[in-house]
Structure 1
């Protein structure tokens, strides 16, 4: 998987998080709302062999509302990515094990939530991954299971797909889930080659999500 494809798995979640307006704290004519960061407990990361690749802000500013009464909205989402090198036949060691967790604001105003990710199904989330970045082909739903994340039973859907690494096609599994946790939505996505089963490791990482992330 090319470097820009690996980054795409995390970046697409940021795009999902900022496709609609949020209302938060007004300052100098700008409405800002910032998510609390999320990550994975150190013990779970060490147990599964996934290495943290850092947390970064994704900031999007846009105008909302009619021109005569538009507001400038600044949305700050947090995305944390983990990677794991895996030995693949004919390819050697490739960092094809990927886990990303994003925290994005879920703001309620007058009883309404102004972030569309709260309504997205897992099928919608994974479709946006493939449509926006073209990293996968032949996407097909395989199964769904229930996993408790942050005390909430959430549906994790597994998809089969194909990606490209070092010029060769590699069959992979993609795991996707979404939930509401406090003031934010959390989205988790895990990817690994079908030749190197990592389902249990992805489940361990999902169960170990911390939000807000510990300092």
Structure 2
């Protein structure tokens, strides 16, 4: 089902260090990076009908062999998830999902190792889809610019089919965006049924209201 668990899988996949960057990893001490948590404004979420499940820390721990030495890299991501119960007439469940993911840039010797910084929105939605098989038939609809954390962020809207609880399939829209704020990359993902009028405005407002750092 499309839920915080599916989107959490994205956060786990956020730190995929490429072989081209491994030359800066020599040394004996572990390299540790942690993002600051991000969330949307609580009042904005409540007014839109979304309830938070809180913020979780998702740790990625990898060991690399470089020049005959092993180097451990630990990166802590944060994910804050919100859900909204929606009644489609034939089906009622928490079909609206909004998640804010913060992942450290992981800078070593002036080089950013977290590839999320170079990912386009198409690559981000592809990463979500690769981690979650319940999201299919993804097609780009349009894109627009939105102000997030003082930056102009490109938000891309996709149409897709999503499988929810009890194997019910629903046509959904998925909105994806990313910004750099300080030492972290912030990724926001919103999912909701296509037949729900006005929900796009709610998702965009949730994105505009993102706070970083937030109180975890």
State the TM-score, normalizing by the size of structure 2: 0.90
Q: CA deviation at 1:6?
A: 1.0
Partner of 1:14: 11
Specify whether residues 121 and 195 from structure 1 end up closer, same or farther in structure 2 by C-alpha distance, changes over 3 A only: same
Partner of 2:148: 149
1:124 matched to 2:123? The reply is yes
Q: Which runs of 5+ in 2 are unaligned?
A: 23-27
Deviations 1:103-128 (A, max 9, x none): 11013333321100000010011011
State the TM-score, normalizing by the size of structure 1: 0.90
Distance of 1:122 and 1:9 partners within structure 2: 17
Paired residues, number: 207
Deviations 1:140-179 (A, max 9, x none): 0000010000000010000000112333321000000011
Partner of 1:111: 110
1:134 matched to 2:163? The reply is no
Distance of 2:110 and 2:30 partners within structure 1: 22
Where 1:17 maps in the other structure, the secondary structure is coil
Partner of 2:34: 34
Q: CA deviation at 1:214?
A: 3.5
Q: CA deviation at 1:65?
A: 4.3
Distance of 1:105 and 1:86 partners within structure 2: 33
Where 1:126 maps in the other structure, the secondary structure is helix
Q: Indicate if the aligned counterparts of 2:12 and 2:59 stay in contact, CA closer than 8 A.
A: no
Partner of 2:45: 45
Q: CA deviation at 1:9?
A: 3.5
Distance of 2:7 and 2:206 partners within structure 1: 16
Distance of 2:106 and 2:74 partners within structure 1: 13
